[in-house]
Chains A and B, each alone.
Chain A
């Protein structure tokens, strides 16, 4: 083949431009730490990268949801524990009150304490978390039991579609309800203006004490036991939910680590490998420069005198 000077120059420039382009791509990988800069560099990596970013973002959101649900359940659990202590104290007092040898004075002292317990119970029913009433179902802006009357302030629906379970999503399609419905905890009809069973029972207990109604005080023990049983059931339920949250949290933590690792494997450049490639390309580029300098310089002109 006949080789002309322009062919040499053109070929050298073309090859050099290709070398430079490859070097530029590798340098870009080094500078960004990513394998690809645009989807066309590798559509499969790009698509997978998009999916994984979404997955990781979702896992982070679910982790936040689990943490928030945990805080809510913690507050609930603390209130339930207080309520439990309160009921046990009330039961002790009822057993004391059922003792026939009690004087009227003693009975009225007990009655005063039970009165305080009742107020405390009403207070607990209106526990708030971040300004929201935790036992009020969806009506988190309204208190459950009226402090003055001791009657339900609002109706908390427990039936069917209207049931006021606050739900947090802690996984795809996985929702957990985080609240305890006040009407289920305190008993009674649960509609606004009706008395909660727990408060009503304490009221009856106080009345029995004040009127010296021994039979009434003995009934109060049974009633308080009923409330304690109910409370235990609710606490067991809350405990089970906390348990589920913990499990979910562990799984999300593991997912987070795994997916972040996968994401990195998918889209991050292997720096050691990239530097090796860069060195290699650098050598090729230098060689092509050196070769080019030799091949395009001399012509016959240099040797004719």
Chain B
């Protein structure tokens, strides 16, 4: 014999189930644009049936909702995190290499090529008319322009290095903040789930944070089962490993620290480079991501320490250029065999081997240098050095940043040496000899001075192009994975609307059931037994 009001209870379970389902639909629709949100579906089943003892079988007990399930494919998360690392790294490299390209400003009418062409052009004019003060002034001005070009290019590169240095610091702070947030979410999720629930929305939030973190550094994030809880469920811990150590170990997060070092990683570096360490003092290596992008551009000299060609590489190349150029122009030194010494046939005629406009016959060779550094005079620059090898070594102190015309030239254009013999105002032989090295294809490994700069700029172009391509490829891959995630976990408005109508109808039907039962009870209670 069934209970009289059993039908109403049954209808109630239908109403409740539809309401829960509508709530979830509502929640999904509200979060249609929430980043990282995974759609939820209602988990519903028929309630445990009652066994009838009178042999009429089992009787259904209505619907039961036993939770909201989050639709998420964790494999796609792992894929996303592993591909996002490269995207972050190369996107930063692409941007910064374009910045370096902009510094060199080639091809244009104001870049290195133009400056060098104009300088040599002025030298040519002076070789034709060495006694003209106007032409001498022109050579001086074009020389200053050339030196300024290198000064400002090096200064801009240093600025990029300093900017990336601060970017490294702020990215490290971002990493620390993210790992702290993840740690705190771990706690909340653990507390919720120990009671048997699934913290759907908190898990979504945590995945979003790991998405962000995976763009900054290379991380390995996973939930591991470490044992069983007293209630019989798995004891899961969320761990993030970076550079072989725990960044987050469930309820504990480990900070990355930065310290300005006293020793430079590269001789070209600006002071105050931030080096990264774990809390325990061991060096931290990001292994990828935006942080690696910034560090590679900041520290990469293209050598065994860091093979990436970043800012130090370009400063080093510019320094090499100005040293060799100043040496060849001033002294006529061209180190053909590259042994750092000035051997036979490597000491040609240079500026210092000549005589100025007003030197008279019998003057000793005063040896004025055209280029020095920081505007010092030739005498200060050369000091006590006499032997070619000693003078050669002096040029190691010249950098693209400090290259200048010597004080002597800046004081008086008469000091531009053009003549091979004292007292000959029409003698421009020195200049003609100097001009020769412009076409000497053995001045640099890369060839002539212009070949050197051209190869520098075209290598920069190739590197930048490559960074752009890798970044684009990674972007496509990451986008593809994100699309698949969206496909799986995203909210579809159409689907939710259809569900809404479905659940609404189910609700109406259950409500209708109540009405029908109510009529039955009305008949039963009010009308039966009345005569």
CA distance A65 to B425 in the complex (A): 19
Quick check: which of B54-62, B125-133, B310-318 contacts chain A, the rest being far away?
A: B125-133
B487 interface contact, C-beta 8 A: yes
| Nearest opposing residue in chain B for A137, CB measure | B426
A33-53 near B? 1/0 per residue, CB < 8 Å: 010101111111011011101
Q: Is there an interface contact between A7 and B486, defined as CB atoms closer than 8 Å?
A: yes
Q: Is there an interface contact between A3 and B107, defined as CB atoms closer than 8 Å?
A: no
CA distance A188 to B488 in the complex (A): 104
CA distance A12 to B459 in the complex (A): 35
Q: Is there an interface contact between A44 and B490, defined as CB atoms closer than 8 Å?
A: no
A1-35 near B? 1/0 per residue, CB < 8 Å: 11111110011001000000000000000000010
CA distance A51 to B120 in the complex (A): 15
Known contacts A6-B32, A50-B457; A40/B491 CB under 8 A: no
Known contacts A49-B107, A300-B497; A130/B450 CB under 8 A: no
Quick check: which of B285-293, B382-390, B431-439 contacts chain A, the rest being far away?
A: B431-439
For chain A residues 40-99, which have a beta carbon within 8 Å of chain B?
40-44, 46-47, 49-51, 53-54, 57-58, 60-61, 64-65, 68
CA distance A204 to B117 in the complex (A): 55
Task: Indicate which residue in A1, A42, A53, A68 contacts B113 across the interface (CB closer than 8 Å).
Answer: A53
| Nearest opposing residue in chain A for B419, CB measure | A138
Quick check: which of B4-12, B178-186, B201-209, B461-469 contacts chain A, the rest being far away?
A: B461-469
Known contacts A39-B461, A53-B114, A141-B131; A6/B107 CB under 8 A: no
CA distance A7 to B464 in the complex (A): 31
Q: Is there an interface contact between A54 and B428, defined as CB atoms closer than 8 Å?
A: no
CA distance A58 to B97 in the complex (A): 31
Expressed in whole angstroms, the minimum distance between the Cβ of A210 and any Cβ of chain B is: 38
Known contacts A39-B101, A53-B117, A130-B129; A46/B498 CB under 8 A: no
- Chain A contacts for B462, CB-based, 8 A: 40, 43
Which among B32, B424, B482 has the highest number of chain A CB atoms within 10 Å? B424
Known contacts A4-B491, A5-B490; A169/B124 CB under 8 A: yes
CA distance A132 to B135 in the complex (A): 14
Interface residues of B, dominant DSSP: helix
Expressed in whole angstroms, the minimum distance between the Cβ of A115 and any Cβ of chain B is: 31
CA distance A57 to B353 in the complex (A): 28
B173 interface contact, C-beta 8 A: no
A166 interface contact, C-beta 8 A: yes
Q: Is there an interface contact between A304 and B501, defined as CB atoms closer than 8 Å?
A: yes
Q: Is there an interface contact between B490 and A7, defined as CB atoms closer than 8 Å?
A: yes
Known contacts A6-B32, A49-B107; A43/B461 CB under 8 A: yes
Expressed in whole angstroms, the minimum distance between the Cβ of A245 and any Cβ of chain B is: 14
Q: Is there an interface contact between A39 and B457, defined as CB atoms closer than 8 Å?
A: yes
Task: Indicate which residue in A4, A54, A132 contacts B486 across the interface (CB closer than 8 Å).
Answer: A4
Q: Is there an interface contact between B113 and A43, defined as CB atoms closer than 8 Å?
A: no
A266-288 near B? 1/0 per residue, CB < 8 Å: 01000000000000000000000
- Chain B contacts for A43, CB-based, 8 A: 458-459, 461-462, 465
- Chain A contacts for B220, CB-based, 8 A: none
Expressed in whole angstroms, the minimum distance between the Cβ of B128 and any Cβ of chain A is: 6
Q: Is there an interface contact between B436 and A40, defined as CB atoms closer than 8 Å?
A: no
- Chain B contacts for A218, CB-based, 8 A: none
CA distance A192 to B493 in the complex (A): 106
B444-463 near A? 1/0 per residue, CB < 8 Å: 00000010011101111111
Q: Is there an interface contact between B454 and A299, defined as CB atoms closer than 8 Å?
A: no
How many of A's residues come within 8 Å of B, CB to CB? Answer: 55
- Chain B contacts for A304, CB-based, 8 A: 497, 501
CA distance A29 to B75 in the complex (A): 44
A125 interface contact, C-beta 8 A: no
For chain B residues 116-148, which have a beta carbon within 8 Å of chain A?
116-117, 120-121, 124-125, 127-129, 131
- Chain A contacts for B121, CB-based, 8 A: 57, 60-61
- Chain A contacts for B454, CB-based, 8 A: 47, 50-51
Q: Is there an interface contact between B479 and A141, defined as CB atoms closer than 8 Å?
A: no
A251 interface contact, C-beta 8 A: no
| Nearest opposing residue in chain B for A299, CB measure | B493
Known contacts A49-B107, A61-B124, A138-B427; A39/B460 CB under 8 A: yes
B262 interface contact, C-beta 8 A: no
Q: Is there an interface contact between B492 and A3, defined as CB atoms closer than 8 Å?
A: yes
Q: Is there an interface contact between A54 and B458, defined as CB atoms closer than 8 Å?
A: no
| Nearest opposing residue in chain A for B482, CB measure | A10
A225 interface contact, C-beta 8 A: no
Task: Indicate which residue in B124, B426, B458 contacts A47 across the interface (CB closer than 8 Å).
Answer: B458
A123 interface contact, C-beta 8 A: no
Expressed in whole angstroms, the minimum distance between the Cβ of B349 and any Cβ of chain A is: 11
Q: Is there an interface contact between B493 and A139, defined as CB atoms closer than 8 Å?
A: no
- Chain B contacts for A11, CB-based, 8 A: 483
- Chain A contacts for B464, CB-based, 8 A: 38-40
Q: Is there an interface contact between A6 and B501, defined as CB atoms closer than 8 Å?
A: no
B302 interface contact, C-beta 8 A: no
| Nearest opposing residue in chain A for B490, CB measure | A4
CA distance A167 to B432 in the complex (A): 8
Q: Is there an interface contact between A164 and B124, defined as CB atoms closer than 8 Å?
A: no
B468-490 near A? 1/0 per residue, CB < 8 Å: 10000000000100110011101
Query: Which B residues lie at the A interface, using CB under 8 A?
Result: 32-33, 97-98, 101-102, 104, 106-107, 113-114, 116-117, 120-121, 124-125, 127-129, 131, 419, 421, 423-429, 432, 435-436, 439, 450, 453-455, 457-465, 468, 479, 482-483, 486-488, 490-494, 497-498, 501
Offer 14 A-B interface pairs, CB within 8 angstroms, sorted by A.
A7-B483, A40-B465, A46-B106, A47-B458, A50-B450, A53-B117, A54-B113, A58-B120, A64-B125, A68-B128, A141-B425, A162-B421, A166-B428, A267-B107
Given contacts A169-B435, A172-B439, A299-B497, 10 further A-B contacts (CB under 8 A): A10-B482, A14-B479, A39-B461, A42-B461, A46-B461, A132-B129, A137-B426, A139-B426, A169-B124, A304-B497
**List of 6 A-B pairs having minimum Cβ-Cβ separation, nearest first:** A39-B461, A140-B426, A4-B490, A43-B461, A138-B424, A40-B464
